Structure 1
Amino acid sequence: MLNTSRRLWNQFFRKARKVNNEPLNKVSLIVLIVVDIFILINVVMGLDDISRWYISPSQAEPCYSQWQNYRTKTTTDKDFEIIKNSFFGIDNPLSQEQIYQQVEERHLGKVSQTCFQYAKYQEQINIPPNQQIIQNIEQKQIQVSQFEQSNSNIRAQYDSTLLEKIAGQSREKSINVVGAEKAKQELDQNNQRISTLKQEITNLKNQLVTKPESMNFLGFLQEDSNFNQVEVNYQQASFWYPSIQLGFQSLFLVPLILVALSIHNFAQRREYGLIALISWHLLVIFFLPLILKIFEFLQVGVLFRFTFDILSTLLGGLLFLISYVYILLIPIVGFGIIQLCQKVILNTKAQAVRRIQDSRCIQCAKKIRTHDTYCPHCGYYQYIECPNCHNLTYKYLSHCHQCGAFQESSHNHA
C-alpha cells in the first residue's frame, strides 16, 4: 500500500510538471500556474452560482422567520413591530409579492402560497395613511431621544452647580452654563414633554394596530393552521437543501472531469505532451473542489443531520461525544473512497492490461516495442519473474503469459 501510494504521488507530480518527460522551464511553469488560478476562480464562481440555482429554504418560505419571531415574542409591542416591518419604503417600486415572483423566475422551485397571502396582507397595510402614522411615530421618537439627551447633559451639570451653591460660590464665578434652579426647572419641563410624546406615540401605535387591515393581518398571523404547513416545508427544505446543492455542484463538475479525463487519455495515446499536461492540470482543478464539496456535505448534509439526530437521542445532553463519533466516522468514509479508487477508478491492473494491449509502457503509457524490457522514455522495467516457470512475464497481469500460472503478488513488484 505504501509503495503504491508513493508511486501514485510521484506519478501525479511527474504529470503535473513535465511535457514528454521533459521538465517545464520557469516561464512555462508561471504561465501554467496563472492559467490554473484563472480556471480555479471560474470553477469556484460557477459552483457558487449553481449552488444557489435551486431555491433556498428562506426563499421558498420567506414569511416563516417573521411568523416564528412573532410567535415567540412576549413583548407588549409585538403587534406593532410586525406591522411596522410590513412597510418597505415609499420609494420601493416593487411590492413584496412581485419580489417573491422574481425569486421564482430566477430559481428552480416555488415560493409558498401562504407567504404570497402573507405578502398580500402586508400590501394592504402598506398604504399612504399608515405610512404617515409610521413617520409621525418616528419623528416623535426622535424628539424623545433629543429631550432625553438634553436631560442627560443637564444632569451632568446639575451636580456641580448644586455643590457650588452649597459652597456659597457666586453665580458669576460658576463654570456651568445653567444654574441649579434653572436646571431643575428644565429637567421637569423636559420630563413632561417626554411623557406627553410617549403617550402620543402609544396612541398612534394603537391607532395603527386597530385599523381593519391591521386586524386582518394579525388575525391571519395568529391562526397557526395557516403556518403549520409552512413550518413543515421549511424544516424539510432545510434538511434536504445541502444534498440538493451537492447534486447541482456535481452536475457542474462531473462533465468537466469526464471531458478533461477523456482529453488527457487521448493526448497520452497520441503522445501530445502539452495537451496531456494541461488536461491533467484541468482534471486536478475540477476534481479537488468536488472532493471538498463532498466533505462539506458530510459535515452539514443529510448524513450528518441523520447521525446527529440519532446520537442526540441516545446521548442526551452529552453532545460533545458526537465529535468523537464523527472523528471516527470520517476516516472510515475516506478509507472506503480510497478503496473504491484503488479497485475501480484507478485500478492498476486494468490500466496495465490496456497499455500492454496497445504496446505501451506500463508506467508512462508511451509507445514501445513489443519485447522492450525497459521503456526508452522513462526507463521503467516492464517484467517480473514468474514464480512457477521462472520466465519473464508482464507486471500487474493476473497470469503468466508463458505458463498461465496465477500471479498472486505481481502487483507488489512495481
Structure 2
Amino acid sequence: MLRKIRNFIDIFFNKSRNINNEPVNKVSLTVIIIIDLFILINVFSGLDSISQWYLSPSQAYPCYDQWQSYQQNKNQDRDFQIVSEALNTIPNIPQSYDQSAEGHLGKVSPICLDFQAINKKINQPNNKVILKSIEDKQRQVTSLEEKNSTIRSQYDSTLLEKIAGQPSNLSINQIEAQKAKQELDKNNLNISNLKTEIKELKQQLLSTGESVEFLSLLNSETKFKEVKQGYEKALFWYPSIQIIFQLIFLLPLIFISLLVHKLAIEKGYGLLSLMSWHLLVIFFIPLLIKIFQFLQIGVIFEFLFDIISVIFGGLLFLVNYLYIFLIPAIGFGIIKFFQQIVFNPKSQASKRVEKSRCLSCGKKIHHDHLHCPHCGYSQYLECHNCHNLTYKLMPYCSHCGTVQNRDIS
C-alpha cells in the first residue's frame, strides 16, 4: 500500500513538472504556477457567484425576521412600534421583494409579497401626520420630565441648605419649596394630558384600515407558521443546493481538462499535456473542498446529527467521532475508484497496445521495441507458460493465450 502511495506521489509530481519526461525550466514553471493561481482564483470566484444564484432563505422569506421579532415581542406597545417602523422605513427600501429576486433561481414567498404590499399601504400622508404629532408630543413629555428632574434636584439642595443653617440670601438655588411644588404640579398635569393625547393618537393610528389589515396579518398564526416552516425548510436545504450548483460548475471543467489531458498524451503534445494536468489538479482542489463541506453542513450531516441526537441525547461529540472514521473511509473509496476504474493501468495498457504506444508514457513506439525510447519503460515480460515475451499488464499471453495474472509495475 505504501509503495502504491509513493508511486502515485512520484507520478503526480513528474506529471506536474515534466514535458515529454524532461524537466520544465524554472521560468516556464513559474509562468505555469502564476497561471494556476489566476485560474484557481477565478474558479473560487465562479463558485461563490453560482452559489448565490439560488435564492437564500432570507431572500425567499424576507418578511420572516421582522414577523418573528413581532411574534416574540411581549411589549404592550408592539402594535404601535411595528406600524411606526413601517412608516419610518418603507420609503428608504430601495427595491421590493420580488425585484430583489430578479436574476436568481427560486421564488419569493407569496405571503411575504402580501406582507410587503400591506405594509406599504400604511405609508399614507394622514398616517404620517398622526405619527409626527405623536413624536412631537413625546418630545414635549421628555422635556417636561427633564425639567421636573432639575426642579427636584434643586429642591433637595435647598432643603439641605436649610438643615445646614444657610441663610436664604446666600443660597445657590433660585427655587423655593412652594414655587417648586407649583411648578412640579403644573408640569405633571401637562405630562398627564400629553400622555392621554398620545394614547388617543396611537389608537387613532392603529384604527386606520391599513393598520388593521397589517396587524391582522401579523397576528395570523396560520400565516406565520407557514412562513416559519418554509424558512426553516429553505434553511435546511440551502447549503446542499449551493454545493450542488457548485458541483455543476466544476464537473464540466474537470471533464474537459481530463479529456484534453488524455488526448494530449495520445497525440504526444507535451506542453498541452502538462497544462491540462495542472488544470485538472486545480479543478480537483475546490471539488474536494466542496465535498467535505457537503459532508459537514449538508443534508448528510443534518441526518447524522438528528440520529445521534435521538439515540444518544446530548452526546453530540459522537458526530465528530463518526466523521473521523467516515471521512477516511470515503477518501479510501474515492482513491480506489479512480485507481481501479478511471486510471486503471490495465485498461490504459489495452488501448495503448492497440495504438502501438508505450505502456507507461503513452508515446508512439515501434511494436518490436523492448523498451520505450522516450521513458525507458520495459514493454514485455516472460510468459510463465510458454516463456515467450508478451506485453505487460495484458490479461493473456500473445503467443499461447495463457492467463497472465501477475501485476507488473
Report the TM-score, using the length of structure 1 for normalisation: 0.81
Measure the CA separation in 2 of the matches of 1:327 and 1:147.
67
Distance 1:390 1:252, change over 3 A: same
Aligned equivalent of 1:246, options 228, 243, 265: 243
Partner residue in 1 for 2:303? 306
CA deviations over 1:251-286 (Å, ceiling 9, x no partner)? 211111111112212222222211111111111212
Measure the CA separation in 2 of the matches of 1:181 and 1:26.
91
Q: By how many angstroms is 1:355 displaced?
A: 1.8
Partner residue in 1 for 2:227? 230
* Amino acid in the other structure paired with 2:285: L
SS at match of 2:102: helix
Partner residue in 1 for 2:327? 330
Measure the CA separation in 1 of the matches of 2:118 and 2:239.
32
Measure the CA separation in 2 of the matches of 1:315 and 1:203.
57
* Amino acid in the other structure paired with 2:42: N
CA contact (8 A) 2:57 2:231 kept: yes
Determine if the alignment matches structure 1 residue 80 to structure 2 residue 77. no
Determine if the alignment matches structure 1 residue 293 to structure 2 residue 295. no
Q: How does 1:5-404 map to 2 (within 5 A)?
A: 5-87=5-87, 89=89, 92=92, 94=94, 99-134=96-131, 205-404=202-401
Distance 1:385 1:126, change over 3 A: farther
Q: By how many angstroms is 1:308 displaced?
A: 1.3
Long gaps (5+) in structure 1? 171-177
* Amino acid in the other structure paired with 1:237: A
CA contact (8 A) 2:61 2:109 kept: yes
SS at match of 1:393: strand
CA contact (8 A) 2:346 2:393 kept: yes
CA deviations over 1:44-91 (Å, ceiling 9, x no partner)? 111111111122222222222322232233233332333344346475
CA contact (8 A) 1:158 1:180 kept: no
Measure the CA separation in 2 of the matches of 1:338 and 1:197.
78
* Amino acid in the other structure paired with 1:44: F
Measure the CA separation in 2 of the matches of 1:180 and 1:100.
60
SS at match of 1:105: coil
SS at match of 1:245: helix
SS at match of 1:66: helix
Aligned length: 404
**Alignment RMSD (CA, Å):** 3.9
CA contact (8 A) 2:308 2:319 kept: yes
Partner residue in 2 for 1:173? none
Q: By how many angstroms is 1:119 displaced?
A: 0.9
Measure the CA separation in 1 of the matches of 2:137 and 2:16.
69
Report the TM-score, using the length of structure 2 for normalisation: 0.82
CA contact (8 A) 2:154 2:175 kept: no
Distance 1:357 1:91, change over 3 A: same
CA contact (8 A) 1:162 1:180 kept: no
CA contact (8 A) 2:90 2:120 kept: no
Q: By how many angstroms is 1:121 displaced?
A: 1.2
SS at match of 2:397: coil
Partner residue in 2 for 1:175? none
CA contact (8 A) 1:361 1:375 kept: yes
Measure the CA separation in 2 of the matches of 1:150 and 1:387.
110
Measure the CA separation in 2 of the matches of 1:328 and 1:249.
26
Measure the CA separation in 2 of the matches of 1:145 and 1:400.
101
